[in-house]
Amino acid sequence: MSDRVQNETSADRLLNALGNVYLRLPESAYARHTPQPVEQPQLIYFNRALAQELKLNLDLSNDEQLAHIFAGTHLPQHAQPIALAYAGHQFGYFNPHMGDGRALLLGTVEDQNGHLRDLQFKGSGPTPYSRRGDGLAALGPVLRETIVSEAMQALGIATTRTLAAIATHQPVYREKKLPGAVLTRVARSHIRIGTFEYCAARGDQALLRAYLDLAIERHDPDLIGMANPALAFLKRVIARQASLIAQWMQIGFIHGVMNTDNMTVSGETIDYGPCAFIDHFSHDKCFSSIDEMGRYAYGNQPKIGLWNLTRLAQALLSEIDPDQDKAIELARAALEEFQPLYTHEWLKAMRAKLGLYTREETDQALIKDCLDQFEAHKLDFTLTFRDLSEAAQSQKISAAYLPMQDWFDQWQARLTRQPQSRDEASALMRSVNPRFIPRTHRIEEAIEAAITTDDYSLFHTLMRVLAKPYEEQPLMAAYAEPPRDDERVLVTFCGT
Ligand code: AMP
Ligand code: MG
């Protein structure tokens, strides 16, 4: 058997159950395309646990074969890869012509739980939607997405996953020449708010309806056959995004580029570009180099979430009711549910962060005061909550937090007003306040070592530490530390 046939066989074996449900959509939804071959792919990362979850047939694949498959060079013979078309509001401005310019959807597989999941290559060469881009990804952003997406998963936040990261050993030209890479992203779907905006902007009713059916089938099958499924679906997306953004806020995550093409209807976090975790707490915190006005700052995320959902509602109007006034009325009522849903989720999460099992009227003020103290004293969001988790038990305030003694006393008094013990409060807090988050300076350090000396040890160490964010891992304490002043990364980049 020739090498080529053998390799094709390994791809066929690995991905024997690959399908592609997007192919049932009208053809204006996508363009058929194949990845650009990579001659010397190197497997940097392969997520075996996820591969098992996806029921991939791993038995006979070695690293070299995996590298060729996930660089997009050796595909199963029955694969029908496509680039999806979509539109989106970027920083508030509508762009009708977007789409997978740097990505290619390999297909869909059914996972262990019977859910369909998308497999998508990022950085596998230009597509018909690349416009002036090269369709490639640099190694740095690929490692960053790998680290942060898998850290989000371990933190318990809905997210797209990383199945594989492959170094291509081909150059990618940005401000300078950089090493290239391909990432395989796994998602509950790649149906975005911008997907529906694309259908609506084209005035393509058949496409809009087909996408709505596909989205409902994949994410809300219980809505099939209901009266007004479009409205019911909109409400589900509103609820999922409210819950997701509340989780981001609770963990100090700043997405950084909440354009409508980067918001899924599945409620998964997608597109890890200039994202960052907050260190010194501030509502206005914003790291992204391209977000000059702070549109996507930490404290703006809920507001922007609602703005984005309003774009979804607008795109779905014709499906909600043929009478536009009536459709607008129904959509507006649905959108009004966002704020109370968000506040409910946020309060629930913040109560848990402070070890509170019961509810009191004044909790919201106590939480607000807590965050104001963090901001006034430039405290590290993650470490302070983690340290408070211990203080719930010890009842002692450590020297670093002395400036917030008054607040601390109020919180301690509040803990005594619930029936749960201090041990229980502390246990709850430790389960939601991580010790380890993907800190930007650590990510950059790992990327730097990989790029300059081909050393992936820091990357792998970081992946290991971040897989257990709520455990103490005393030997890894250094990874919990915020950056020193000279290590602080003030600006993050998309890197596209
Ligand atoms: P993103 O910033 O990842 O949300 O991408 C925004 C849009 O730009 C999407 O339509 C991408 O497909 C496209 N894009 C980003 N980087 C590239 C690239 N290197 N080549 C082609 N298209 C790209
Ligand atoms: Mg995007």
What is the SS3 string spanning 120-158?
EEECECCCCCCCCCCCEEEHHHHHHHHHHHHHHHHHCCC
Tell me, what's the pLDDT at 9?
73
Tell me, what's the pLDDT at 490?
83
Does ligand 1 have an atom closer than 6 angstroms to the CB of 128? no
Q: How far is the CA of 263 from the centre of ligand 1 (A)?
A: 14
Question: Does 177 reside within a domain?
Answer: yes
Mean pLDDT confidence for 361-373: 97
DSSP conformational letter for 227: S
Burial of 363 (0-12, 13-18, 19+ CB in 10 A): middle
Domain boundary among 407, 432, 457: 432
Mean pLDDT confidence for 306-334: 98
Inter-residue contact 93 to 65 (CB < 8 Å)? no
Q: State the sign of the Cα–Cα–Cα–Cα dihedral 52, 57, 60, 65.
A: negative
Q: Using 50, 70 and 90 to split pLDDT, how confident is the model at 18?
A: very high
Does ligand 1 have an atom closer than 6 angstroms to the CB of 145? no
Does ligand 1 have an atom closer than 6 angstroms to the CB of 72? no
How far, in whole angstroms, is CA 126 from its chain's centroid? 23
Residue closest by Cα to atom 22 of ligand 1:
101
Tell me, what's the pLDDT at 469?
98
Residue closest by Cα to atom 3 of ligand 1:
271
Residue 185 has pLDDT above 60, yes or no: yes
Ligand 1 atom closest to residue 132's alpha carbon, by position in its atom list: 21
Q: Using 50, 70 and 90 to split pLDDT, how confident is the model at 495?
A: low
Q: Is 18 helix (H, G, I), strand (E, B) or coil?
A: coil
Distances, alpha carbon 114 to alpha carbons 20, 108, 219, 222, in Å: 15, 12, 12, 15
Residue closest by Cα to atom 8 of ligand 1:
101
Does ligand 1 have an atom closer than 6 angstroms to the CB of 134? yes
Residue closest by Cα to atom 16 of ligand 1:
496
- Report the half-sphere exposure of 182 (CA within 13 A, side-chain side): 33
Q: How far is the CA of 261 from the centre of ligand 2 (A)?
A: 6
- Ligand number with the minimum distance to the CA of 100: 1
Question: Does 23 reside within a domain?
Answer: yes
Does ligand 1 have an atom closer than 6 angstroms to the CB of 355? no
Ligand 1 atom closest to residue 496's alpha carbon, by position in its atom list: 16
Q: Is 441 helix (H, G, I), strand (E, B) or coil?
A: helix
pTM: 0.96
Question: Does 304 reside within a domain?
Answer: no
Inter-residue contact 367 to 250 (CB < 8 Å)? no
Quote the tokens at residue 108: 């869909």
Q: How many domains does the chain have?
A: 2
Does ligand 1 have an atom closer than 6 angstroms to the CB of 180? no
Burial of 451 (0-12, 13-18, 19+ CB in 10 A): middle
User: Cβ neighbours of residue 113 under 8 Å, at least 6 residues apart?
Assistant: none
What percent of the chain shows pLDDT beyond 70?
98
Residue 2 has pLDDT above 60, yes or no: no
Q: How far is the CA of 184 from the centre of ligand 2 (A)?
A: 15
Residue 239 has pLDDT above 90, yes or no: yes
Question: Does 31 reside within a domain?
Answer: yes
Residue closest by Cα to atom 13 of ligand 1:
101
Question: Does 34 reside within a domain?
Answer: yes
Domain of residue 53: give its range: 3-187
Tell me, what's the pLDDT at 85?
98
Does ligand 1 have an atom closer than 6 angstroms to the CB of 273? yes
- Average pLDDT of the chain is 95
Inter-residue contact 315 to 197 (CB < 8 Å)? yes
Q: Which tens digits make up the pLDDT trace of 445-465?
A: 999 999 999 999 999 999 999
In sequence order, what are the beta bridge partners of 184? 121, 164
Question: Does 118 reside within a domain?
Answer: yes
- Ligand number with the minimum distance to the CA of 141: 1
Distances, alpha carbon 15 to alpha carbons 19, 20, 45, in Å: 9, 12, 18
Domain boundary among 146, 162, 187: 187
Buried b or exposed e, range 11-20, using 16+ CB within 10 angstroms: bbbbbeebeb
* Rg of the chain in Å (alpha carbons): 23
Quote the tokens at residue 402: 């002395």
Inter-residue contact 392 to 420 (CB < 8 Å)? no
Q: Which tens digits make up the pLDDT trace of 223-233?
A: 999 999 999 99
In sequence order, what are the beta bridge partners of 137? 181
Extended beta strands in 9-113, E state: 30-32, 42-46, 82-84, 88-90, 93-95, 103-110
Question: Does 104 reside within a domain?
Answer: yes
Q: Using 50, 70 and 90 to split pLDDT, how confident is the model at 1?
A: very low
Q: How far is the CA of 289 from the centre of ligand 2 (A)?
A: 16
Mean pLDDT confidence for 234-262: 98
Q: Which amino acid, 370?
A: C
Domain boundary among 138, 163, 187: 187
User: Cβ neighbours of residue 397 under 8 Å, at least 6 residues apart?
Assistant: 391, 404, 405, 408
DSSP conformational letter for 45: E
Q: How far is the CA of 102 from the centre of ligand 1 (A)?
A: 5
DSSP conformational letter for 115: -
Among 73, 100, 102, 65, which residue's Cα sits nearest to residue 85? 100
Region of residue 311 (phi > 0: left; psi between -120 and 50: alpha; otherwise: beta): alpha
Unique residue bearing structure tokens 């369709």: 135
Question: Does 339 reside within a domain?
Answer: no
Q: How far is the CA of 88 from the centre of ligand 2 (A)?
A: 9
Mean pLDDT confidence for 51-71: 93
Tell me, what's the pLDDT at 288?
87
Region of residue 55 (phi > 0: left; psi between -120 and 50: alpha; otherwise: beta): left
Does ligand 1 have an atom closer than 6 angstroms to the CB of 496? yes
Q: Using 50, 70 and 90 to split pLDDT, how confident is the model at 8?
A: low
Residue 5 has pLDDT above 90, yes or no: no
- Ligand number with the minimum distance to the CA of 86: 1
**Is there a catalytic annotation at residue 111?**
no
Mean pLDDT confidence for 48-60: 93
Residue of 12, 100, 118, 261 marked active site: 261
Q: How far is the CA of 257 from the centre of ligand 2 (A)?
A: 8
Does ligand 1 have an atom closer than 6 angstroms to the CB of 36? no
Does ligand 1 have an atom closer than 6 angstroms to the CB of 87? no
